[in-house]
Every structure is written in structure tokens, then in C-alpha cells.
Amino acid sequence: MRPIIHMIARALFHAGGLGLLTLGAFDSSPLVVPMGNDLLVLALCARYHQRVLYYVAMATAGSLIGCFATDWISRKSEGGLKKFASGKQLDYIRKQVEKRAAWTLLGASLLPPPFPFTAFVAAAAAFRYPRTKLLSFVGVGRLARFTIEAALAIHYGRWIIRQAESPWFEHVMIALVAISIGGSAYSVYQWSKGSKPAAARAA
């Protein structure tokens, strides 16, 4: 497992902006990549201060790509929102989106896991919140979040690099990769289990 983790981490780090674009898209899609993009933003900005604006822009763009995918799936699939949340959580998300969609999307874009960001995006899409507004508010929130992380990376760069090279950080990465693989596999299974478009069901 460790050689694979090292290989993935090294590939994403050396990919730079493209790595952020890829992780950002996965992180905001129905797949599960907890904190992956945030850690990569911190690592890259801590090492290469002169590329901070580029990294922030690529991370934000990747997140918007993932959100667009989530939006599209939620609008096309009948009952798609139930695949992101259920029970009391679903009721809470529905009420928040119906009352204050803009502020909810902004807040969800700024807060880290375990806040159910993807579920709020899916809810806004399922309730037919305008796609342009949805992506705009998410873009502003994500841009602010990654900018804050970049500023922290510049200020605490040496400390961050030391932590990234420590043994405990390797164990954290292994745990996150395991969660990502398991969570993503479950998410794909849930979507493949009866996620037919509403039109197809009606036919």
C-alpha cells in the first residue's frame, strides 16, 4: 500500500495545477476525496510561493467542474438527491436551500469536511436553483477557501513541509486514500443501483 500511496502523492504533486484540477473535480463530484485538494493546495503553495495564484485558480476550476457534474446528475436523475443524503439530514438540507440558497452554497463551499458540501450542491440542483447562480456562489466560496489556504501555506510553509515529510503524515495519507477508495466505490454503487433518468422511468 505504501509504495502506491507514495506514487499517487508524487504524481499529483509533480502534476501541480493539473493535479489540483483533477482532485478538485473528483472532490466536488459524487466521488469521495476528503481533504485531498486542500492538502495538495497547502503542499504546493508552501513549496512554490510564486505559483500561488495559479494553484488557487486551478483548484477552484477543478471544484467547479465537479460541481457541474453533480448539478447535471441531480437535475437528470429522479431521486438523485437521496443518494447524497437521507432522513433528517435531507430535511435539513432542503430547508436551508429553500430559505437561503445563496448563503448556504457560500458557506458549504468554505467549510471543510465532514460538512456535506456535495449534498448541498445536489440539493440546489434538484430544486432547480439556477445553474449559473449555483456555480457562481460555489466559485466565490471555493476561491476564498483556497486563497486562505494559500496564505496559510506561505506563512507556515517550512512547518507544513516538515509535517508532510514526517511518518505520521504518511499514515494520515494512507487513511485518506482508503476512505476515498471505499467511499467512491460505495457512491458509484449507489448511483448504478437504479439511477435511471426520470424520462426513462416514465417511459
- Amino acid letter, residue 176: L
Q: Which of 95-104, 140-149, 182-191 has the highest mean pLDDT?
A: 140-149
Question: What are the extents of the domains in the chain?
Answer: 2-195
Residues 110/138, Cβ–Cβ less than 8 Å: no
- Amino acid letter, residue 48: Y
pLDDT 10s digits, 105-149: 898 898 876 677 888 888 888 888 899 999 999 999 999 999 999
Beta-carbon neighbour count of residue 6 at 10 Å? 12
Continuous segment of H or E residues that includes residue 70 = helix 52-76
pLDDT 10s digits, 33-72: 667 788 889 989 998 999 999 999 999 999 999 999 989 8
